[in-house]
Structure 1
């Protein structure tokens, strides 16, 4: 039985007739939005819904799901209910100084953490990634993947190569409790031949040991780095590929040791994807497709062994059943990168941000996606904004609440945090080194900016 109880189930009960302990147990099975909705029904339930013990459970659930960053949420036991509610509000709106009420504002740093790995000189273009709990950073150090502890500035783990003479070019991770699933994208140079692979690694963060769950070949490529936008979500991992066969999207089911390579209907079209629990989002020209992972069952193929000679056979996207398709061709948009994040307060709801092009303009589209249990998915467009002339956007991630980074021309500072949910971008400048234009990661919920220097990894939190 699912731990979650949704609002419709709660409304059918006469909650006010139940003992407080039973009501608290029901609240513990609800999302935040349901608890707040129930609090609006009567005074007694309002008082119970805002008991400190209820919000301790709700925030603990956010921590368990790695939505709350432990570096910007102190010991929640010491907080009042009002302070815990403010933390949740911040998840929805982002740092306060990122949404200034006046022009020429500067985003205020609330905390700055510096890690001191020994960075190889050839690794100056690394892009470090802060895991969502805020406890660990992953980064490439001379084509080798490392994990560092943020708490005590310590090397936790170094990826050991499953093959000789290989270089890592990309990675993605999903954190859960004390372990993390990592997709490692690498190229091996074997017998004067170049081959690319993906590996799924299960890393125990407490012991610093890992288990290689699978290594799979990707289609042949003349490029030593054919990878872009790797992602991990549940049993699925995915990465976009630029290979000899064209622009492809590879999905791996690491639990079942299966894979699928997708190709756009038009061979000149790039597929952009995003993973959410149990589903995949694809953009194809001016269409956005929602596909259930269950719909892929008849298209999976066994993983090709590392020494196998078989070339993966792509499947056309048109042959995959879709749950829903959003068609925006009438707007003359062309969809590009997708960023999708689950709601911190409502189960089954996601914020979807899309970078798109329209004639000579660069647009950002915002959609709300709802996937209620046992109901049809629903789309609703929220906003569309256009990048200001003279600004450079380098495909930085977009946070849950819609913030990203831009700079003036040629990808140089000053750098500005802006809201893609606003028709007029804010002007909150952030202090970053010049190299940060294309080498800064932005955390989806805390908004922490993580970047590298010649001798350190820096994490900046904002007020």
Structure 2
């Protein structure tokens, strides 16, 4: 029996490689010539790339894999890291080139079209489905067939969807969706109630099951919700009516806790990774525009501060302060120059295509200066969580960002010089802010969804929902 992997026969090595992540295969291949040659075998990379596709990291319309050469498969992996080739910046900028355009055709609403500032479209992680808020009615569309497979019918009277977010488990044909809703009383038209609902949608049958429905406290806000997110059994929603309060819901245990900004922390953003929350704060009163990044243990916080969800009463929440949360990791983020207290910030998290238990954190923070930072968070089971800063670069000084892709690209919507629209993207490998321009339809909606890995842009016009893929 061989004592070293380098002495094992090829079929044994191949069997080991298919249980490794890409980073491990590359590392082992650097140890000796024998393992290097085996690590570049087509069957190894075929298994690695198929795993990426099963985890929704590769786009659904990639070419036939079985006949692909090893270098072609490696190129597909590199694309998940850097984004589409025509998104790679040069000193003079870059020009995104569309490789495929997919259109969906929702029903025109009362002759007024489907375009509204609230009508957001989001592509599912697999790229097979689109959730579209069609005039406060949430719809799920099959991308390939251009067919409506589900329309949300609430058990609430006169309910309208305001915001939503989804999680797509890799082991089933389902979506887990968190929905922020508003209802209006039939007796008193000005009486408004707000709800958070979490549902499981069966994509084969088009039926959904309600997992949790929570009535929120009454408020004078027309829309008190912001920044919903969901992963597994945990959902988070910002309650703007409460001035920087985030509600964290565990729908399996039907328990929750709320977090509010405190002390010098005047704003919170929140993302979910397995068993943990990532929080970003900002201080609008500090002339340096300081901010901090925290890693929070969800289970520990539920044990110490969680309470059963009061589903129907609309009772006020009793948030805990950020200072009281059990923090695992803390990181300070500061622009370099003092100035005006006006700030903007963004937070995005994506699982690494190369490492099984590592997550890429992107942090945009603007004050007088704007910076785009990235961190790698390790959640390996055998070690304590840790993160390291990877990059820190100047960014475009803007005040609204969409999701930041794994590659570091993001976009914001502009109308300049009479052009119908441009998408401007930040690419951190270039140490100066770089813009890539793309002509969009003149009636393009403001909300533009960017996919986490393969650079798809999803948005609505007055008659279609459009998905763009790039070369």
- Structure-2 change in CA distance of 1:13 and 1:379 (3 Å): farther
* Alignment equivalent of 1:399, drawn from 393, 400, 405: 405
In the alignment, what sits opposite 1:179? 174
**In 2, Cα distance between equivalents of 1:205 and 1:75:** 25
Q: What residue in structure 2 maps to residue 224 of structure 1?
A: 222
Q: Aligned to 1:375, which of 350, 375, 383?
A: 383
CA spacing shift, 1:204–1:407, aligned 2, 3 Å: closer
Pairing 1:139–2:139 present: no
- Uncovered stretches (5+) of structure 1, i.e. residues with no partner: 1-11
Q: Work out the CA distance in 1 between the residues paired with 2:277 and 2:107.
A: 38
Cα gap change, 1:281/1:309 in structure 2, threshold over 3 Å: closer, same or farther? closer
Aligned counterpart, 2:28: 38
Aligned to 1:321: 326
The Cα of 1:369 is off from its aligned counterpart by 2.2
Per the TM alignment, residue 263 of structure 1 is displaced from its structure 2 partner at its CA by 0.7
More displaced, 191-200 or 227-236?
Answer: 191-200
Q: SS where residue 256 of structure 1 aligns?
A: coil
Map of 1:112 onto structure 2:
101
Cα distance in 2 for residues equivalent to 1:452 and 1:183: 21
| Kept after mapping to 1: 8 A contact 2:113/2:463 | no
Q: What is the aligned counterpart of 1:162 among 147, 155, 159?
A: 155
* Residue aligning to 1:344: 353
Higher strand proportion: 1
Alignment length (residue pairs): 446
Of residues 413-422 and 33-42 in structure 1, the stretch that sits farther from structure 2 once superposed is 413-422
Matched-pair contact (CA < 8 Å) for 1:335–1:354: no
Distance 1:92 1:346 in 2: 12
TM-score (normalizing by structure 1): 0.90
Question: Contact between 1:143 and 1:169, CA under 8 Å: does it hold in 2?
Answer: yes
Q: In the aligned structure 2, how far is the partner of 1:93 from the partner of 1:413?
A: 24
Match of residue 96, structure 1, among 66, 85, 88: 85
Q: Secondary structure at the match of 1:430?
A: coil
Match of 2:287 in 1: none
Q: Distance in 1 between matches of 2:268 and 2:155?
A: 29
The reply on whether 1:311 has 2:308 as its aligned counterpart is no
Superimposed CA distance per residue, residues 361-391 of structure 1 (whole angstroms, 9 cap, x where no aligned partner): 33322222223333233332233333446xx
Out of 233, 236, 248, the position equivalent to 1:235 is 233
The CA deviation at 1:183 is: 0.7
Flag the 1:332–1:428 CA change in 2: closer, same or farther, 3 A: closer
CA contact (8 A) 1:442 1:449 kept: yes
Tell me what 1:449 maps to: 457
**Are the counterparts in 2 of residues 115 and 456 from structure 1 also a CA contact under 8 Å?**
yes
- Matched residue SS, 1:76: coil
1:428 alignment partner, SS class: coil
Match for residue 9 of structure 2? Answer: 19
Task: Label 1:395 to 1:16 Cα distance change in 2 as closer, same or farther (>3 A).
Answer: same
Say whether the 8 Å CA contact 2:216–2:314 is kept in structure 1: no
The ranges of structure 1 where at least 4 consecutive aligned residues each deviate by more than 6 angstroms after the TM superposition are 332-335, 409-412
The answer to whether residue 347 in structure 2 is matched with residue 357 in structure 1 is no
Cα distance in structure 1, aligned partners of 2:402 and 2:113? 22
Secondary structure in structure 1 of the residue aligned to 2:355: coil
Distance of aligned partners of 1:250 and 1:179 in 2 relative to their CA distance in 1, 3 Å threshold: same
In the TM superposition, residue 159 of structure 1 has moved relative to its aligned partner by: 0.9
Aligned-partner Cα distance in 2 for 1:268–1:293: 20
Identify which of 255, 258, 273 aligns with 2:255: 258
Counting only pairs closer than 5 Å after superposition, residues 188-227 of structure 1 correspond to structure 2 as: 188-190=183-185, 192=188, 193-227=191-225
Q: Per-residue CA shift, 1:319-368, capped at 9, x if unaligned?
A: 1101111123595797732111110111222221112123x233322222
